[in-house]
Every structure is written in C-alpha cells, then in structure tokens.
Amino acid sequence: MNDSATTTARQRPEPASATETARLLPPGFELGVAMASYQIEGAVHEGGRSPSIWDTFSHTPGAVARGETGDVACDHYHRYREDVALMAELGVDAYRLSVAWPRIQPDGTGPVNRTGADFYSRLVDELLGAGITPLVTLYHWDLPQALEDAGGWPLRDTALRFADYAVAVQELLGDRVGRWITLNEPYCSAVLGYGTGRHAPGVRDAGRSLAAAHHLLLGHGMAVQAMRQRDPGGAYGITLNLEPVSALTDREEDRAAARRSLTLSNLLFTDPVLAGTYPEDASRLWSTVSDFAFLRDGDLETTAAELDFLGVNYYFPARVRAVPHREPDPALRSIEDLGVATPLLAEDEVTEMGWPVEADGLRRVVVWLHETYPALPPVLVTENGRACADVVVDGVVDDQERIRYVDAHLRALGAAVEAGVDVRGYFSWTLLDNFEWAEGYARRFGLVHVDFASQQRLPKASFSWYQALLAARAAPA
C-alpha cells in the first residue's frame, strides 16, 4: 500500500463491521434487494408490451433529466439470468421485484398477454432455482397508458381494473409466489403524478391528486380482498413511503406546517389502510380543491382490508419549516408543498439526491407507526439506500458512504426491534444502478455499478459488505 492509500484508509470513518451489525438483527430477519420493472427492464417494445405512463412521460421533452428514458435501462428483460446470478452470489434471502402491468394486460384490461406473463414466470423460476424468495409488487408506477387515457387513477374504475389485474397475476404466478405487495408508494403516484406533475403522468391538479390517492388505496383494498379469497394462505401487503415528521422549531407556524405535512405525507395513506379512517383535518385542508365526492360508503372498510405485513420505504426525515407559498396557481398550494419545506442543516450529510442522511429517522418512523396504529401488522422495510457519486477507479467502486448508510440504517432497525416494533426484514434499494425516474441515470443507488453503454455489471465495495453481512447473520427459518 502506498502512503496516500494508507492516509485515505486512516481518514475513512470505520463502519461497524458487517459481523457486528449482523448480530444486532433478530434471528430469522430477512435480507434482500429491491428493484422495479420500468427502472431496469428496457425492451419496452418487446413481447407485446404496450406503453405505460412512464414511456409517454419520459419521451416528453423536459420531463426527465437529459431526456433519458427507460427504453433500454439495464436491459434486465434480456439479462435477468445474469442479474439473478448476482443476487445468488450476494446471498440474499429474497428479491422484491415488480411486474409491469402493460406486459400482462397491454390495454390495462382483458386477456393476459402470454409473452409478457412468460417473462415473469421464467424470472420466478430462475429465482427459486437460486434459492431466492420472490416478493412481488404489482404496481411500481407503470400504469398502462390506455388506462391513463381513460382517466387514470383519478377515475374510480381504475381501482376495479387494478383488482382484476392483481388476480390475473396471482393466477399466473401464485403457484410459486406467496407474498404480494399491491402498490409501491401511492403517495408518489398520487401527489407527484397528479399533484406536482414531477412524475408521470405529469398532471398538476390538487383535486385530481386527492381522488387518485383514494382510488389507489381503494384498488389496493379490492386487490387484497380478491387475492385473499383466491388464496387465503398468501401474504398480502402494501408499501408506503413514510417520514418521521417534526417541526424545525417550536414556532407555532412551523408546528402547524408540520401537522399539515404529516397529513399529506403519512396520514392520508396510513389512516385509510391501518385504521379505516380518513385524516381528521383532510376536508378542512383541502376544502377549496375537492368536495371529496370520491369517498363513498364502505370504501374505508375496503382500504383497511386485513394485511399480513406493511412495507415501509425510508430515505430521509421531514423536519418542517413554514415557508410562503411560491406556486402561481393558488389551487395547487394545498398539494404542492402545503406551504412547507424540509431545509437542509449545516451539519447534514447529503446524498447525490440532495437528501439528508439520518439513520435514526428509520427507527423513529417505525416506532411512530407502532405507537399510532394498534392494528399495525409486521413491518418489512421494502426500500432504503442512497445515491452516491460512484466512480470506477482501477476496476473498483469504493462506495464507503453507501456502506456506512446501510450499516447505520440496519443498526437503527435493530434499535426499533429492541424497542418492541415487529420489523421482520430489510430490502436494500437497490441491486443495480438504474433509471432513477425524473433524475435519469445520473443518480446511482446500486450495490452493483452498471456501465449503461456496455451493460457491464461491476459489484461495488458495498456489495461485498452486504454479502459479508448476509453470511454472518443467522439465516431465516
């Protein structure tokens, strides 16, 4: 080792070793990786797949950084065997994948497209052959464009279409897949998709955003009920992105802003799903943009369909400061940011996404769930990870910040379990660098580096660290 390498190694803060962290996890704790169809598959015109809202949106000038699209992505559609082999080498218990609705039902309804179905069938067989348990997400944002053209999630009928699609996928894969996540992050689909317009389909309309949120949760509940009826032995859940919310200061306006933020980012989703209620202050907050006519008798019983687990995605905390609203359209004020902001603090470590790193936020958010909802089912952390400015030097990506991030978040989960929260597993976001939505390919979250020109995969230092953790802990029953 030369002098400069020694200095770098000395300056690097030591992460707790993988072995020590593995000891903090309860026996049987599940460890996996997560990815999502549009972010990795590519092959958007193959196998009878129709366009999704993300194909349309990413091809809209100005929508995605540098005009990038998921047309090729990681070419996982053709390279899935290589990618499953990487997961096997890593040693994960489980892989959280998502099924692209437009591969299964190109029009969003009607008969199943066999070629699309076969892809997922082969993928599931490959996983099982490698000893990896599939955890299938039915909707990770790629709505068939045909359904958007008919009205999208603001339309009640889309919830019914989703429940039909869910059962169709269960009929295809249910002999080999026993665990299902209906939706990934309905907050993003509703608020970013139909409110701020930052995500597909790029609509900016507060009222439609609220209707979309409701119909997403209604579709979730209908799907759980229908799938459970078909297979009572299956395990059913939903994945929500949740934030531990606090006011930045004790000032009354900051505390009021934090309360509004909590309603929009968490309660609008957790109350209907975990308590069968609607947040108390919703109608007051949004009376100018919605009459809530979408909320019908019996809906909240459906949205609160019994769950076997709750998926939680966590990236960063919300610490809220009231700010004057800047959106020129006053109707959007109520959804755009509710007049709030999460400022960065001078001492923050910040990821390539501009997100502050706060591992303890993961402990706080699952403790909040545990204390707020008596009916909380077991929790799975279905996504967590960070974007780094990864560079390949002499064939190596030495992503120590990612190692520290994963390590710290796992230790925070260990503390949550210690405090009595029933957390059963953790899925790293993500295996491969991939298409990071509106940010395109420049935001790398993978344990494996992808050279998008050659499609070459190169495991990073974090891959070896996660591998060591997996090898060190007690394997699940």
Please tell me whether residue 242 binds ligand FCB under the rule CB under 6 A.
no
Binding mask 420-439 for ligand FCB (x = CB under 6 A): ---------x------xx--
- Interface segment toward ligand FCB; rule CB under 6 A; list 180-188, 290-298, 403-411, 460-468: 180-188
Q: Compare residues 29 and 435 and give the one whose CB is closer to ligand FCB.
A: 435
Q: Which of 148, 185, 390, 401 binds ligand FCB (CB under 6 A)?
A: 185
Around Cβ 323, how many Cβ atoms within 10 Å?
Answer: 14
Least distance (Å) between residue 282 CB and ligand FCB: 23
Least distance (Å) between residue 95 CB and ligand FCB: 15
Nearest of 264, 161, 139, 141 to residue 201 by alpha carbon: 141
Residues 6+ apart with CB under 8 A from 91: 467, 470, 471
Q: Compare residues 105 and 351 and give the one whose CB is closer to ligand FCB.
A: 351
Residues in the chain: 477
Least distance (Å) between residue 343 CB and ligand FCB: 21
Q: Compare residues 105 and 241 and give the one whose CB is closer to ligand FCB.
A: 241
Q: Which of 445, 463, 465, 466 binds ligand FCB (CB under 6 A)?
A: 445
Structure tokens at 404: 């520290």
Least distance (Å) between residue 270 CB and ligand FCB: 17
Binding mask 250-289 for ligand FCB (x = CB under 6 A): ----------------------------------------
Note if the bond before 144 is cis, omega within 30 degrees.
no
Binding mask 107-146 for ligand FCB (x = CB under 6 A): ----------------------------------------
Least distance (Å) between residue 185 CB and ligand FCB: 5
Q: Which residues are catalytic?
A: 185, 383
Least distance (Å) between residue 432 CB and ligand FCB: 12
Please tell me whether residue 170 binds ligand FCB under the rule CB under 6 A.
no
Please tell me whether residue 241 binds ligand FCB under the rule CB under 6 A.
yes
360 CA to centre of own chain: 19
Please tell me whether residue 58 binds ligand FCB under the rule CB under 6 A.
no
Which residues would be at the binding site for ligand FCB (CB under 6 A)? 36, 39, 184-185, 188, 241, 313, 383, 429, 436-437, 445
